[in-house]
Amino acid sequence: MIHTTDITNQNIKLHVNSKRDTPILTKPLLWLITLTTGVVVGNNYYNQPLLGLMAKDFHVSEAAISMIAMLTQIGFATGLLFIVPLGDMIKRKKEINIINFSTHHSLLIGNGLRSHSWAALYRKLYGWI
């Protein structure tokens, strides 16, 4: 009876340490993560060359429209502060669904904005999501 228990424990150890259960970080996956991170961080700066055109479209000064870039960066930092730690507290699938839902609705709302003040508020909230 003791011998059977030892074999069972060894089988369990072999199953837990099998290669199929261990995630592998391959070079293509690492490059995908690297490029995705670069695009996400770069998204904070994509609007800056367009600020002059946005000021004309919204009929505001360039100083007022520059708040959009600033609020986007503040929103991004706020998201890092509050959303990233959620990955340790809730399951990934639930977190991904919440973020996708929030982003989808945020983009729908942002698509219909026509005033500078609403656009500035939207960029802060969208930067946070």
Question: Tens digits of per-residue pLDDT, 54-75?
Answer: 889 888 888 888 888 888 888 8
Percent of the chain with pLDDT over 90: 9
Give dist(CA 21, CA 28) in Å, integer: 20
Can you state the angle between helices 116-128 and 62-82, rounded to 10 degrees? 20
2 has a pLDDT exceeding 60: no
Can you state the angle between helices 51-58 and 116-128, rounded to 10 degrees? 140
Report which residue type is found at 4. T
87 has a pLDDT exceeding 90: no
Please, which pLDDT band fits residue 23 given cuts at 50, 70 and 90? confident
pTM above 0.75, yes or no: no
12 has a pLDDT exceeding 50: no
pLDDT score at 6: 46
Give the number of other Cβ atoms within 10 Å of residue 65's Cβ. Answer: 22
In this structure, are residues 123 and 75 in contact, taking their beta carbons and an 8 Å threshold? yes
